[in-house]
Amino acid sequence: MFGVNDSLTTIGFLVNEEEHINFDIFFDMSIALGVQQKDTKIFSFTDIKTKTPTLIQNKIFSNHFNWRGEINNNNALDFLNTQLDVLVSYYDTKNNYLNLMTSKSKAKFKVGFNGVDNRLFDLIINVDPQKNLDVKSELLKYFKVLNKIN
């Protein structure tokens, strides 16, 4: 968890790309929480690698995981080893790949959605992740209660 007097300065979003494609909403959320865009990290997962080339580096595919749960993607490993104040695991369906990444993250505080795996998170919010304004409202409410934002 955050230190007793730590405020929120860095945030990461781990996103199931099959559910969310517009990443601007995550920058909007972080700004509402008082986190600068440069201190916001977004990493996405998709199950199927397309033939279309992509310039997006912050993406991982299911074929980057081996049967022992090891991740073979340097960008993903860098993201997971980043000392974030908060990681928001932005998916609400069971996904072993995303759960593994959440468990390996070095984030101080992990937020997830109801219906995933409660053991992974410090805070579980019970809203539909597709309703971005509701998610932002819940994050603002809880981080104010925890004195992490003003």
| Residue pair 8/85 in contact by the 8 Å Cβ criterion | yes
Residue 47: inside a domain:
yes
Residue 59: inside a domain:
yes
Nearest to residue 76, comparing CAs of 50, 93, 100, 49? 100
Residue 3: inside a domain:
no
- Give percent of the chain with pLDDT exceeding 70: 90
Query: pLDDT tens digits for 112-133?
Result: 999 899 999 999 999 999 899 9
User: What whole-number distance in Å separates Cα of residue 83 and Cα of residue 44?
Assistant: 18
Residue 88: inside a domain:
yes
Quickly state the pLDDT bin for 54 (edges 50, 70, 90).
low
Query: pLDDT tens digits for 72-110?
Result: 999 999 999 999 999 999 999 889 999 999 999 999 999
User: What whole-number distance in Å separates Cα of residue 149 and Cα of residue 130?
Assistant: 24
Q: Which two tokens stand for residue 124?
A: 């579980």
Residue 86: predicted pLDDT = 95
Quickly state the pLDDT bin for 146 (edges 50, 70, 90).
confident
- Residue 94's domain spans which residues? 22-145
N residues, the chain: 150
pTM (2 decimals)? Answer: 0.90
Residue 11: inside a domain:
no
Residue 51 confidence (pLDDT) above 60? no
The partner residues of 11 in beta bridges, in order of sequence, read: 40, 86
Residue 71: inside a domain:
yes
Assign 3-state DSSP to the chain and report helix, strand, coil percentages, each to 5: 35, 20, 45
Residue 17 — left, alpha, or beta (φ > 0 → left; ψ -120 to 50 → alpha)? alpha
Residue 1: inside a domain:
no
Residue 37: predicted pLDDT = 92
Residue 13: inside a domain:
no
Quickly state the pLDDT bin for 18 (edges 50, 70, 90).
confident
Instruction: State the total domains in the chain.
Output: 1
